[in-house]
Amino acid sequence: MAEIFTGEGRSEQVEKEQLMQLVGFSIGKEQFGVDILMVQEIIRSAPITAVPNSPDFVEGVINLRGNIIPVIELRKRLNLYEDNVNTDTWILILNIEGKVTGFIVDSVSKVLKILESSIEPPPELVVAGLKSQYIQGVCDTGTGILIILDFNHILLVEELQKLKEIA
């Protein structure tokens, strides 16, 4: 048994079947989640080396135990600009279809367990305006709306190609 979100802010004890485990994180006031199986590790901000002529949302690369990993400013990638940018950031290290990439976020919360049936598809009006179909769904946690991101689609094909060239 585990405490999970069942939509509309309710949590209750249910069997572990049909649960989606997410790592929760925030950018500004917005709450997001990513499938826990994609998360390789979570680190505090590390020294980032800028890469000339990289896309504007690529902050640079980090050296993580001998591996050079590109780092993306998720705030810029999602066009979530804010005046008071948090300087105390975290980097989610994700494995996206075999390519390890870091994503800068403001904070990382706990592992969330969400009943898959409580996840609603994103509003069609929102998805229609996106170049990439990276919003997997939304869920009401009781304290706000959690946006579940699909990092397999957060970058366009040509952006993935540029990342391969950087690393």
> 12-66, pLDDT tens digit by residue?
555 555 888 999 999 988 899 999 999 999 998 789 999 998 888 899 999 999 9
CATH superfamily of 2-166: CheA-289, Domain 4 (2.40.50.180)
Sort 92 into a burial class: Cβ within 10 Å, 0-12 / 13-18 / 19+. Answer: buried
Dist. CA 66–CA 6, nearest whole Å:
42
Residue ranges of domains in the chain: 2-166
Which of 26-30, 90-94, 149-153, 160-164 is predicted most confidently? 90-94
Q: What average pLDDT does the chain have?
A: 81
If you average pLDDT over residues 113-117, what whole number do you get? 89
User: How many Cα atoms occupy the beta-carbon half-sphere of 1 within 13 Å?
Assistant: 4
Q: How confident is the model at residue 1, as a pLDDT?
A: 32
